[in-house]
Amino acid sequence: MNTNPTDIEGKTRWDNIILPSIPNLHGIQTYIANGGYEALKRALEMKPEEVTDEVKKSNLRGRGGACFPTGLKWTFMPKQTTKVKYLCVNGDESEPGTFKDRQIFESNPHLMIEGTLIACYAMGINTAYIYIRGEYSKWINIVEKALSDAYEKGFVGEKILGKDFSTNIYVHKGAGAYICGEESALMNSIEGERGYPRVKPPFPAQYGLWGCPTTINNVETICNVPLIVKNGWEWYSKIGAAKHPGPILVGVSGHVNKPGVYEMPTGIPLLEIIHKWAGGVPGNKGIKAVIPGGSSTMVVRGDQLEGVKMDADSMKAAGSAVGTAGLIVMDEDTDLIKVLARIAKFYYHESCGQCTPCREGTGWLWKTLKRFEKHEGRLQDIELLMDIANNIEGNTICALGDAAAWPIQAMIRRFREEFEKRVSPKEARVPAAAVA
């Protein structure tokens, strides 16, 4: 594998390691024939704390949106406890613009299962749940078949590979709600309760599933674990961006010639992803804007993309975030107000209603944006949108409120002229002082 890719024939060379082009890799025999479960065997020859240390040294950062260091997260799991310990693998994948996990479910489910087993061994966990979005019925069936085969081969269950290590893994079908992707709502869903986020603290590592210590990791995050254990943290840390290393799955959609999921090292420039990997913009149109990490991440202007890379630090400097690496490209003819109204409607619909700022505020955001859609906006509505968003942000139990507020704030800051164009002629004649 080329860990230091070079530009060959106009495209960065990269040999996939999470989604390699191997036919029938979802089948256990093919997976084993290509080195599958060797990382698990190696992990079981190590002490659990050595496995955790290997992941810490690799600087693997979560691929679910927050980019939190995975190895550090594992250390929060208490070593000495009389309670059952759980692992939840979050495959809810409900963020608009995000569709990478289902590629893993379909093409390489055993990598996820192997990573789950290694994580359980490292943290002393004997029960794990793979939580999959309820709408993913096809992919649920594929994962369940893979899990059944892994049980049959002795990779899951009692005394795994003859060692004093036992773990059971269960596939849990999601409740069909965006909010269940939030870690505490996910746990409530597994428990059979309504998907309400929980107040923190206590945090899952102290009080999670059924009041027991629990760790939640994203599917793609877990899939990186076998790569680290098998090849070593030094090898992994040299892939991609120094402070955010490893391969990353980027789901490219919108106005590109070749939408899809692309695996690449972190730190690849966004413009390279769009033009060289995803085939560029149809009709060679200009790029008006991109949403780099799923609908909740802040929009970036097309004329500000130069030098912006797909890693946490670069995205932060650009005023956005990697998020789930769901890259949405919008060409020069895109109606950004319409896009934003659709995003706002989604979060309004998906709000669980537990927190007043989110329950009420998301509705007002959508209703106000509808006025701009109809070219009936008022000048004061621009500030009204910002005021509502600012009052939602940071004032809710979970991050859904933030997810609804951030697109509004970023779009107004970076495309204020789009809103001003939608002010009704009547309102536009009102002096600014009168609407202040």
Number of domain units in the chain = 3
Domain end, chosen from 237, 267, 284, is at 237
Residue at which a domain ends, from 303, 331, 359: 331
Same domain for 155 and 127, yes or no, is: yes
270 part of a folded domain: yes
Read off the CATH number of the domain in which 133 is found.
Answer: 3.40.50.11540
Residues 312 and 343 in one domain: no
Write the CATH number for 273: 3.10.20.600
| One domain, residues 182 and 257 | no
pTM given for the model: 0.93
Q: What is the mean pLDDT of residues 94-123?
A: 97
The pLDDT value given to residue 356: 97
pLDDT digits (tens, 9 = 90+) for 215-245: 999 999 999 999 999 999 999 999 999 999 9
Sheet holding 260-265, edge to edge: 260-265, 247-254, 326-331, 287-291, 300-301
How far is it, in rounded angstroms, from Cα 429 to Cα 424?
A: 9
The range of the structural domain enclosing residue 325 comes to 240-331
246 and 226 in a single domain? The answer is no
Question: What would the pLDDT profile of 134-185 be if each residue is shown by its tens digit?
Answer: 999 999 999 999 999 999 999 999 999 999 999 999 999 998 899 999 999 9
**Mind listing the pLDDT tens digit for each residue in 336-370?**
999 999 999 999 999 999 999 999 999 999 999 99
Regarding whether 324 and 357 lie in a shared domain, the answer is no
Tell me the percentage of the chain whose pLDDT exceeds 70: 95
Residue 2 lies in a domain: no
Torsion of CA 289, 344, 89, 216, to 10 degrees: 100
C-alpha distance from residue 219 to each of 64, 92, 231, 275, 287 (Å)? 8, 9, 20, 28, 31
Same domain as 298, residue 210: no
pLDDT, mean over the chain? 94
